[in-house]
Amino acid sequence: MQVVKLSLKEANKIPIEADEVNPDNFAGKTEEEIKAIKVWYGNDQYHLGDFFNVKVEGSDSVENTKIVFEGDVSRVKRIGQNMSAGEIEINGNVDMHCGFGMKGGKIVINGDADNWLGCEMTGGEIILNGNASYYVGSGYRGESCGMRGGKITINGNAKDYLGEHMCGGEILVKGSVGLLPAISNNGGKIIIEGNATMPASEMKSGMVIIKGETFDLLPSFKEEGTEEFGGVTYRKFTGDVNVGGKGILLIK
């Protein structure tokens, strides 16, 4: 097991683009090597060691590498981008694009996450023990596929456009979500235990289950009896008929 502990020397105002901070780049490296990893800060490149105290315990393969952020990193973006294995634990809030394009492994965030959490991820797991912002598990601007695999669990609430253009994988929100969750979905499964507004517009396929209250259900969904999910009976809708969609929307 290799554990790498990172703590910010001082809180930064200008965001740090930490797209190289993932177990794939840390595994088997010494403290000095990790400190020398380059990150963007504003329009210049610096070394990770310029901003973070780095402590390394042990040395191991990617699967057995764990990165721990001690404290708030709410101005550090793209943590865990493209990671394929291993684990990241963030003990505080995190900035945008955490887990972007993640292929495997696990990210646990003990705080809130900013926009684009788990955007375009294809595998692995993200557990957020706080609230998420906009565009969880969505696609890059203009892409027709966002999240394709893996699982995101949000133990708090999420804002608008959850799972936009999602094509696979699963998102579970224990709290409520904002406007237009599952917009333009093309696969995958979204379970919202709280409330949602205008869900699943332009959905082509996939499944959305809303256990709380649904506000402003779109008129472009067809009601087709009931369906049981997890021992509870829901009203079943299919759509969005505007796009010839065959997605399934289960609501109370």
The residues that touch other proteins, with contacts defined as CB under 8 A, are 139-143, 204, 243-244
Closer of 68 and 243 to other proteins (Cβ): 243
Say whether 50 sits in a helix, a strand or coil: helix
One-letter amino acid of 27:
A
Among residues 92, 116, 91, 157, which one has the least CA distance to residue 19?
116
Using an 8 Å Cβ cutoff, are 159 and 183 in contact? no
Q: How far is the CB of 185 from other proteins (least distance, A)?
A: 13
d(C-alpha 98, C-alpha 79), whole Å: 5
CB of 200 to other proteins, least distance (A): 16
* Alpha-carbon span 178 to 181, nearest angstrom: 7
CA distance 56 to 112: 26
Residue 252: alpha-carbon gap to chain centroid: 26
Q: Residue 57 to residues 5, 18, 43, 110: CA-CA distances in angstroms?
A: 8, 21, 32, 22
> Could you give the CA distance from residue 183 to residue 202 in angstroms, rounded to a whole number?
6
Alpha helices (H) in the chain, listed in sequence order: 23-26, 31-35, 48-51
- CB 223 → other proteins: shortest distance, Å? 24
* CB contact at 8 A, 23 and 67: yes
Distance from C-alpha of 136 to C-alpha of 162, rounded to nearest angstrom: 5
